[in-house]
Amino acid sequence: MSRILAINSASDFCSVTISDTDTVTTTTRSAPTERGHGDAVLAMIDQILQETNYAKTSIDALAFACGPGAFTSLRIGAGITQGLAVGIDRPVVPISSLAMLAHGVYRQHQRQRTLVAIDARMGQVYFAAYETAVIGDSQLVSEVRVCDPVELTWSKGAWTTVGNGWQVYADEIPPDSALKYIGGGAEDSAIDVACLAEKIVKEGKALPAEFALPVYVRDRVVHQAC
């Protein structure tokens, strides 16, 4: 059994969740946050600890959306996670913000095949395809890409789409009448961070606090091209 504190600050909508698998309860706080992600997340953590009457030391692991996403907000989420993990000597679980959104589609809409596209700025999107058949396990079925919207490709068939990239670049993404758009999907997504982290914690694969680091897909692509 485990009690996980999960954070999502990877977008303009921050959320924090405490998931307790022993009591099968989840408590969440979320709010739109254009700036001031750090203050917003810390306030939510305080609120949620007070509401549940949990001490920080009762947390077994900390999970966070590690990216891709906005660079500054990713650093904030990773920094808060690492600071808390060091302070209470607990492990961390980085969760892809793309997998987080795909999992949310399954949790809320029971749709298994999901295309995730989020605005990467500079006229590009972060993109990946996932399949989710059970709560807590979203499987990546494509490479994670950062590319121009017009370059997006996916296999034929029924897919659900999620993420703000589909709306921001609607005029540039190749049309496909089989796609069903769900929305941005980030409102209560710390729940999905916690769900995906539970399996990793249970398998003993959580990481030391120093691995609470943001993942910048754009940087990885640039380095591979050099």
- DSSP string for 107-146: HHH---EEEEEEEEETTEEEEEEEEEEETTEEEE-S--EE
Tell me: the pLDDT tens digits for 107-149? 999 999 999 999 999 999 999 999 999 999 999 999 999 999 9
Residues 90 and 131 in one domain: no
- The verdict on residue 226 lying in a domain is no
Nearest-angstrom CA–CA distance, 31 and 94: 21
- Give the single-character DSSP code of 203: T
User: pLDDT for 10-48, tens place per residue?
Assistant: 887 899 999 998 777 889 998 887 777 899 999 999 999
Contact 199, 217 (CB under 8 A): no
Q: Enter the tokens of residue 99.
A: 């997998």
Tell whether 12 and 61 lie within a shared domain: yes
Q: Say if 224 falls within a structural domain.
A: no
* All residues at 6 or more sequence positions from 148 whose CB lies less than 8 Å from its CB, including other chains: 123, 124, 125, 172
For 13-22, the pLDDT digits (tens) are: 899 999 998 7
Say yes or no: 92 and 191 in one domain. Answer: yes
Same domain, 25 and 130: no
DSSP state of 156: S
* Host domain of residue 49: 3-96+187-216
Q: Please count the structural domains in the chain.
A: 2
pLDDT attached to residue 136: 96
- Mark whether 57 and 165 lie in a shared domain: no
pTM as predicted: 0.93
In this structure, what CATH number is given to the domain that contains residue 134?
A: 3.30.420.40
